[in-house]
Every structure is written in C-alpha cells, then in structure tokens.
Structure 1
Amino acid sequence: MSVRTPLDFAHACEVALRPNDFDWAGHLNNSVHVQILEAGRWQWGLALGVDLRDSTLVAVVLQLQLDYLKAVDWDPVGRVVVRTAFAEQSTYSFTLTQDIEQPDGTVVARGRVRLGLVDRDTKRIHRADLQALLDVPGRAA
C-alpha cells in the first residue's frame, strides 16, 4: 500500500452554514467564503495527518484568489462542500486549489491560496517542505 503525500492527496469535507453567514439580500456573505476555505484547509491537513495546532509552525496566507461563481441562497442550517487539492510548491510557499460546492455538486466559488510557514515563536519563515510536515508531531488526527 502506498503512502499518501500532499502531492497526490485531494480532500472533500462538509462545512455547516450558520444563520449569521448570510447578508441582507439572503446570500452567503462574500467574506464567509474565505472562512469556509480556511475550514477546508484545516480538514485537508488533518486528513493528510498534518496537525499544526500544537506545533510552533503556523501556516500563513500569502495570496488568495477567489472567484465567486454562483450565489448561495439563504439556508440557515445548510451545508457546503469544500474540495481542497495540492497545486504547486516553491521553496518557501505552497499553493492549494479549493472549490466550494453546493451539496448537489454545483461549484459556487473557486479559490487558489498560496501559503507560507512561519515559526510562531521566532517569526522566521520556514521552507515549505510539505513532506517534512507529515513528520511534525501533533495531536492524532
């Protein structure tokens, strides 16, 4: 059996919507999309076995591109699906692609986020070695 790595691992998770996630027009607020993507990134990392909650490393957003494709209408107990996949890596950053979908599979937003790793204590940037992240001690995912 082969070991999964960030390079070949895609992940989907559901994110619950809250009543206050919607604006006065009855649509999912544009700023909430960013929070939903972050929840998807955490779930992607945990599913991959990367848990930075107890680590001195912190993933920081360096760049975010977000295309809003379709409105999500008022549903205070609704859910969306976030699909996260590895896209590319450079020496000091890595990029993920993320889609937000309605439960029927309709893509409502498409994101691309470039992340860097910073030491929480020293504030120094770290190389973006995703394979090494798999060895970061943390909580059991």
Structure 2
Amino acid sequence: MSQEKGKLVYSCEIPVRWGDMDAYGHVNNAVYIRYIEEARVQLIEKIGVEMDPNGLAPVVINVGCTFLKPVVYPDRVRIDCYVKDPGRSSFMTEYEIYSQRSPESPVSIGYAKVVWIDHRTEKSVELPAQVRSFVS
C-alpha cells in the first residue's frame, strides 16, 4: 500500500476454511486475493451498485498483495477496506487483513484499482455520482 492511507469505508469478516491452506500449512497466497475480492464485492454492494456484465459496472485493472504473517485454520480474517485517489473513471482500493488470532497488526495488505466501464463498448466511463460521493 502507499504511504498515504485512504478513507476507511468498509470492514467485513471472512472465516478461514480448511481448504484455504496449502502444503505449507498456512493460507495460500492466492486465497488472499479472493479475500480482497470478496471484501470489494461487498463494498460495491454497500454503495448500491449492481454488478451488470452487460452495462456500466466496475472492473479491476490491477491487484496486488503483500504477505506479512501466516494465517492458519481455524481462524477468521477481518478485511478493512480503504478508498482513495478518485479519478474520472476510477479509484484505488486498499485493504488491511487482520487475523482474529493476532488482531494487533495486519497479516497482509493489498490493493486493487477499480475502473468503471461500459461493457458494451469496453471503454471507461465516468464514475456514477453515488460512487464518486462515496469514494471522495
């Protein structure tokens, strides 16, 4: 994540499943991207936006994650969602993931850039007013 933290707009909890772990006995790196995705979808729903694959809707153009501490089953993770840098058609989302077992510091931090597009033309469009007001 960048040094300047965005605005905290949403937080959710997700249970760690047995199948989230890999051969090393901790949550697989790819699963963190799923955790971030789930938090982002819940956030978009909170804003009141419909995920319409045939209309105007958000897409992710990049995503990343830094792994700080391992997480193992059983556990729950809390994902804090931040937004920042709203542009004409996009904004950044940043995530701090905390383990219920060690809630004092993040186990992972991540980001994703969200862009609004018209799925029919595959071109970016202006952020809807309700989204802009939420992320600004």
| TM-score bracket relative to the smaller structure | 0.7 to 0.9
* 1:41 match: 40
Distance 2:119 2:54 in 1: 8
* 1:131 match: 129
Matching residue within 89, 92, 114 for 1:92:
89
Q: Secondary structure at the match of 1:107?
A: coil
| TM-score (ref. length: structure 1) | 0.76
In structure 2, stretches of 5+ residues that fail to align are 1-5
Please say if residues 9 and 48 of structure 1, whose CA atoms lie closer than 8 Å, have aligned partners that are also in contact. Answer: no
Matching residue within 69, 76, 79 for 1:79:
76
| TM-score (ref. length: structure 2) | 0.78
* 1:28 match: 27
Q: Secondary structure at the match of 2:107?
A: strand
* 2:3 match: none
Please say if residues 101 and 109 of structure 1, whose CA atoms lie closer than 8 Å, have aligned partners that are also in contact. Answer: yes
Displacement of 1:39 in angstroms is: 0.4
Please say if residues 81 and 93 of structure 2, whose CA atoms lie closer than 8 Å, have aligned partners that are also in contact. Answer: yes
Please say if residues 50 and 57 of structure 2, whose CA atoms lie closer than 8 Å, have aligned partners that are also in contact. Answer: no
What aligned pairs does 1:98-109 form with structure 2 within 5 A after superposition? 98-103=95-100, 104-105=102-103, 106-109=105-108
Please say if residues 16 and 73 of structure 2, whose CA atoms lie closer than 8 Å, have aligned partners that are also in contact. Answer: no
Distance 2:128 2:113 in 1: 13
Q: Secondary structure at the match of 1:28?
A: coil
Letter matched to residue 129 of structure 2: Q
Please say if residues 65 and 111 of structure 1, whose CA atoms lie closer than 8 Å, have aligned partners that are also in contact. Answer: yes
How high is the sequence identity, in percent, across the aligned residues? 24
Q: How many residues align?
A: 126
